[in-house]
A and B are shown apart, each in its own frame.
Chain A
Amino acid sequence: MDIKKKKKKITTPIWRYFIFIALIIVYILPMYVLINMSLREVTDIRSRLYPPIEIKWDNYSEVLNKSFFNSLKNSAFIMVWTVIVEILFGSMAAYGLVRSKSKVAERFASINLGIMMIPGLALLVGTYSLMVRVNLVNSLWGIIFLSAAGGLPATTFMYMNYIKSIPIALDEAAVIDGASVFRTYISIIMPQLKAVTVTRMIMTAIGSWNNYLMPVFLLQKKSKHTIILLIKSAFDSAGSVGNLPQAAATCALGLLPIIILYIFAQRYIIEGQIDSAVK
Chain B
Amino acid sequence: MEKRKRATLYMCIPALLIIVFFMAFPLINGISVSFYKWNGYSQTKKFIGFENYITLLTDPVFWRSLANTLLYGFGSTLLQNVFGLLIALYVNSKFRGRNFIRALVYMPIMISGFIMGQILYYFFQYDGGVMNDLLGILSFAPVYWMETGLRAALVITLVNSWQYLGLCMVIYLAGLQNIPMMYIEAARIDGVNRFQEFFKIKLPMLMSSITTAVITNLIGGFKLYEVIVSLSGGGPNRKSLSLSYYIQLLYFNDEKAGYASAVGVALFFMIFIISWPINKYLVSKVEEY
Contact = CB atoms under 8 A, between A and B. Distances in A.
Interface of A: 16, 19-20, 23-24, 26-30, 33-34, 37, 45, 47-49, 85, 88-90, 92-93, 95-97, 99-102, 113-130, 145-146, 148-150, 152-153, 156, 175, 180-182, 185, 206, 209-213, 217, 228, 231-232, 235, 251, 254-255, 258-259, 262, 266-267, 269-270, 273-275, 277-278
A124 B178 CA distance: 40
B18 interface: yes
A83 B267 CA distance: 29
B225 A120 contact: yes
A121 B174 contact: no
B14 interface: yes
Contact of A266 (B7, B12, B103, B175): B103
A119 B108 contact: no
Contacts of B271: 117, 119
B99 interface: yes
B26 interface: yes
Contacts of A127: 22, 26, 30
Contact of A92 (B12, B116, B134): B12
Interface of B: 4-12, 14-16, 18-19, 21-23, 25-31, 33, 40, 87, 90, 95, 97, 99, 101-108, 110-116, 118-120, 122-123, 128, 130, 133-134, 136-137, 162, 167, 170-171, 173-175, 177-178, 209, 212, 215, 219, 222-223, 225-226, 230, 243-245, 247-248, 251-252, 257, 260-261, 264-265, 267-268, 271-272, 275-276, 279
Nearest to A127: B26
A120 B101 CA distance: 32
B225 A121 contact: yes
Contacts of B279: 113
Nearest to B25: A130
Contacts of B99: 267
Nearest to B133: A47
Contacts, number: 246
Nearest to B274: A117
Q: Is the interface of A mostly helix, strand, loop or mixed?
A: helix
Nearest to A104: B12
Contacts of A211: 112
Contacts of B276: 117
Nearest to B173: A274
B16 A49 contact: no
